[in-house]
Amino acid sequence: MGVDAKQTGILVLLVALGVSVIIALVLSLVRSGEVPVPPGTKYGMVFDAGSSHTSLFIYQWPTDKENDTGIVSQTHVCDVDGPGISSYAKDPPGAGKSLVHCLDEAMSIIPADKQKAAPAYLGATAGMRLLDLQDKAASDQVLAEVSKTISRYPIDFRGARIITGQEEGSYGWITINYLSESFMKYSFSGQWIRPFAYKIFGALDLGGASTQISFIPTVKIEDTKEEAEFKLYGVPYTIYTHSFLCYGQNQALKRMMVEATKGKDLADPVNIPCYPKGYEETLEVQSLYDSPCTEKFAPSTPSTPTFSIKGTGNATECSQVLKTIYDFNSCTGNSFCSFDGVYQPPVAGNFFAFSAFFYTFDFLNLTSGQSLSTVKSAVETYCARDWSELQSTFPKERPDRLRDYCANANYILSLLLEAYKFTEESWTSISFMKQAANTDIGWTLGYMLNLTNMIPSEAPSTRRVQTYNVWVATVFFIVFTLALVLVKLFLYFR
């Protein structure tokens, strides 16, 4: 072998050796962890079968993070055509048929290979609670029919049932704080962090037949019937939660109408201050008493089968009528009481008010943190508007909703201020919200998270990162060096 050839070979070996040393040093400095493989996606579905309508919520999350927080996202919402399933008491199969459109829509959204693993639930709320009280056989049949329909689809259907008012309030509270990352969040430093307690939000929910309030009080809860306990991410929580059946906005307005007509001669038109001036309608007397919430007020012998109403549009008088639907006398002498003799500690902390709370105030442009005086003034202004003016100003709004906004807004004020006892100072703690983290606020997400055990009762351990990088670099260096030595010896003795 010539001198030039040997020198060239040695030079090549030195260069290769230098490159291997550089690679080894780089590998020793880089911390490797788990190989980043794109996770799969899992889907879940929850039907919110409310008193006035049903909605289907579709959620999705990475399959490798089912016990992490803040990773479930809302994929789609489908509003079921027609009224709530409790309205199908005399036609139970119709309740099942009403869900078909949204189920078909869900199957077009969830990939075919993910459908069988998608957990699906139907939770019925206050409308079905009332039907269950009124006619349990009809209630059971409605649930059986919706279950039959959902079971025909290739999903992991886990049942349809009536959830309790306390569950509805609790799951709404879980949803809000989960989406707000109030329970636990993963920090940039790779640690699970528990936020400070002041970030825990209270929940105010208003539906058609019931309303719920849930929060962590600053005093001990004296009535254990009104408390719920959870252990989420290893942290125990005790919240006050109560659901008032018959005090959702639809049932409250039915109660308002009963009070407005009480003792009146129904042969003459009845003035309704909660309805706009110029609004007139003829109603059946029986329509006021066809609910378990009002049937006890029905006269034994109605003087007339129908009666006429006339709106007078007066917010002050409307508020006075609405206050009569509460029984405040049962709270006399007890400062820790809301109404109807129900124990409630003083409200504390910040609250999210959603569902009908939001929709009513959103229509009135009152969801931007306005002061209480501004809210009251806006409600008074709306109530004073003429019915024909409202119809021409909002031609696309449903007439029944347009008619009811004055009544609903005054009911919300009476519920929050008179019943739940918020004050002018604590009013600023209420945020009227529809969504958090691009996900609708309500009980459905909390319900799914609970039933799928996606929120662990123990805190997730800190993720471990294997520091085997130095060994990889060392082995690489030794093997590569030995290979170079062998090549050098081969060239030298050739």
Q: Kindly report whether the global pTM for this prediction surpasses the value 0.95.
A: no
Is it the case that residue 91 has pLDDT exceeding 80? yes
Instruction: Report helix, strand and coil shares of the chain as percent, to nearest 5.
Output: 45, 20, 35
More confident position, 479 or 438: 438
Angle between helices 100-109 and 136-151 (to 10 degrees): 30
Read off the tokens for 176.
């809000």
Is it the case that residue 464 has pLDDT exceeding 90? no
- Largest Cα–Cα distance of the chain, in whole Å? 126
pLDDT at 466: 41
**Secondary structure element (H or E) that encloses residue 435, with its range:** strand 435-436
Cα angle for residues 299, 305, 308 (degrees, 5° grid): 100
Task: Catalogue the active-site residues.
Answer: 168
Tell me how crowded residue 466 is: count the other CB atoms within 10 A of its CB.
9
Tell me how crowded residue 353 is: count the other CB atoms within 10 A of its CB.
22
Is it the case that residue 348 has pLDDT exceeding 80? yes
The answer to whether 450 touches 171, Cβ cutoff 8 Å, is: yes
Categorize the per-residue pLDDT at 163 as very low, low, confident or very high, splitting at 50, 70 and 90.
Answer: very high
Q: Residue 485 and residue 166: Cα distance in Å, rounded?
A: 76
pLDDT at 189: 60
Q: What is the mean pLDDT of residues 58-74?
A: 77
- Using the structure block, give the residue that is written with the tokens 């129900």: 342
Is it the case that residue 412 has pLDDT exceeding 70? yes
Q: Residue 331 and residue 25: Cα distance in Å, rounded?
A: 76
Could you give phi then psi for residue 309, rounded to 5 degrees? Answer: -125, 155
pLDDT tens track for 48-64:
999 999 999 999 998 87
**What are the distances in angstroms from CA 9 to CA 179, 402, 490?**
65, 91, 10
pLDDT at 462: 45
Paired sense of beta strands 185-186 and 192-193, if any: antiparallel
Categorize the per-residue pLDDT at 458 as very low, low, confident or very high, splitting at 50, 70 and 90.
Answer: confident
Q: What is the mean pLDDT of residues 62-84?
A: 83
Picking from 242, 246, 243, 250, the residue whose alpha carbon sits closest to that of residue 295 is 246
Q: Residue 136 and residue 265: Cα distance in Å, rounded?
A: 36
Q: What is the mean pLDDT of residues 120-126?
A: 98
Read off the tokens for 240.
């006050």
Mean residue pLDDT of the chain comes to: 88
pLDDT at 321: 97
pLDDT tens track for 243-283:
999 999 999 999 999 999 998 989 999 999 999 999 999 99
- Using the structure block, give the residue that is written with the tokens 């020198």: 7
For residue 177, list its beta bridge partners: none
Q: Residue 269 and residue 151: Cα distance in Å, rounded?
A: 50
Q: Residue 442 and residue 226: Cα distance in Å, rounded?
A: 20
DSSP string, 72-111: -EEEEEEEPSSS-GGGGTT-HHHHHHHTHHHHHHHHHHS-
Q: Residue 480 and residue 485: Cα distance in Å, rounded?
A: 9
Cα torsion angle, 89, 94, 95, 98, sign: negative
Question: What percentage of the chain has pLDDT greater than the value 90?
Answer: 73
Read off the tokens for 93.
């199969």
Cα 35 from chain centroid (whole Å): 35
pLDDT at 226: 97
The answer to whether 125 touches 163, Cβ cutoff 8 Å, is: yes
pLDDT at 1: 53
Q: Residue 236 and residue 231: Cα distance in Å, rounded?
A: 4
pLDDT tens track for 360-388:
999 999 999 999 999 999 999 999 999 99
Read off the tokens for 476.
């690489």
Cα torsion angle, 70, 76, 82, 88, sign: negative
Is it the case that residue 33 has pLDDT exceeding 50? no
Is it the case that residue 190 has pLDDT exceeding 60? no
pLDDT at 454: 86
Read off the tokens for 363.
């229509």
Question: What percentage of the chain has pLDDT greater than the value 70?
Answer: 81
**What are the distances in angstroms from CA 152 to CA 78, 113, 116, 141?**
19, 17, 12, 17
Beta strands, E only, 216-320:
227-232, 235-245, 270-272, 280-284, 306-311
Q: What is the mean pLDDT of residues 485-489?
A: 57
Categorize the per-residue pLDDT at 212 as very low, low, confident or very high, splitting at 50, 70 and 90.
Answer: very high
pLDDT at 490: 53
Amino acid identity at 315: A
